[in-house]
Structure 1
Amino acid sequence: MTTATELDERYGRTRRRRLPWIIAGAIALVVVGAFAWMTVAQSMSSVDADDLGFDLVDEHAVDVRFQVTGVQGKDVVCVLEALDEEFGVVGWKVVELPATDRHSQTRSERIPTVAEATTGLVNTCWVA
């Protein structure tokens, strides 16, 4: 006479091991959690800079107005550029903005140039 265990093995009704599935699920959960945390951490320290305008002072300087929006309570560093009519860099300046408790701040900075500029803009900003 055949036993219940033999019938289960013959017709594929054996108990499947759950441990590999549990381990794979745990690994997947850790990977998804790490990815989510990196995304949130990066967005918390992101800085947005918007050009508000520029004024050509003379052939050796341009004033750039810009707004920085992002983190509160941390120093921010921005790189400003002055470009000529062929989009060549004729001047640049690194500006350090001190930490404030406001969400955004508007600034105006003068960039010295080596030739006449036709525009001034913010290249990039980051948390210092």
Structure 2
Amino acid sequence: MTAQQLLDERYGRTARDDTRTKRILIISGALFTLVFGAWVVWGGLSGTNAELEVRELGYRDLTDTSITVAWEVSVAPGTEVSCAVQALNANFGIVGWRVLELDSSDQRTRVFTETLRTSEQAVTGLPYGCWLP
């Protein structure tokens, strides 16, 4: 009897059962595939489309202390929306900011313009984001 066999016998080790290992791997793989497939169907295919979309249209400098920002909001008709609009300086610091409450409308897509007062000259203006209240 070899030393390895003596140690295996002493500590109760048995020879590896390759069929058992294969069975565990096959069941684990099948379960992973089933869970991943359910996640893809639930999260990807049955998800709803975005209900609120915001698009930057541009800006126009008026003076050293103000800027006019234009943006477009698309939302289901009859839905109120709140939007934050910002003006940025050359270092991307916020020099103007305003939160606006947009009333509901029967139109899905609407265009807005807002003039912001700035603390210094702005180089760009854009909608920071919109959300449903």
> So what's the TM-score if we normalise by structure 2?
0.64
RMSD: 2.2
1:50-73 Cα distance to aligned partner (Å, 9 max, x none): 111101111111000111012210
Match of 2:79 among 68, 74, 93: 74
1:30-81 Cα distance to aligned partner (Å, 9 max, x none): x879868x833xx46x311111110111111100011101221011111001
CA positional deviation for 1:97: 0.8
CA positional deviation for 1:124: 0.5
Structure 2 counterpart of 1:60: 65
Q: What are the ranges of 5 or more consecutive residues in structure 2 without an aligned counterpart? A: 1-34
Paired residues in the alignment total: 97
Computing the radius of gyration from Cα coordinates, the structure with the larger value is 2
Distance 1:84 1:113 in 2: 9
> So what's the TM-score if we normalise by structure 1?
0.66
Counterpart residue identity of residue 120, structure 1: G
Identity over aligned pairs, percent: 27
Counterpart residue identity of residue 102, structure 1: Q
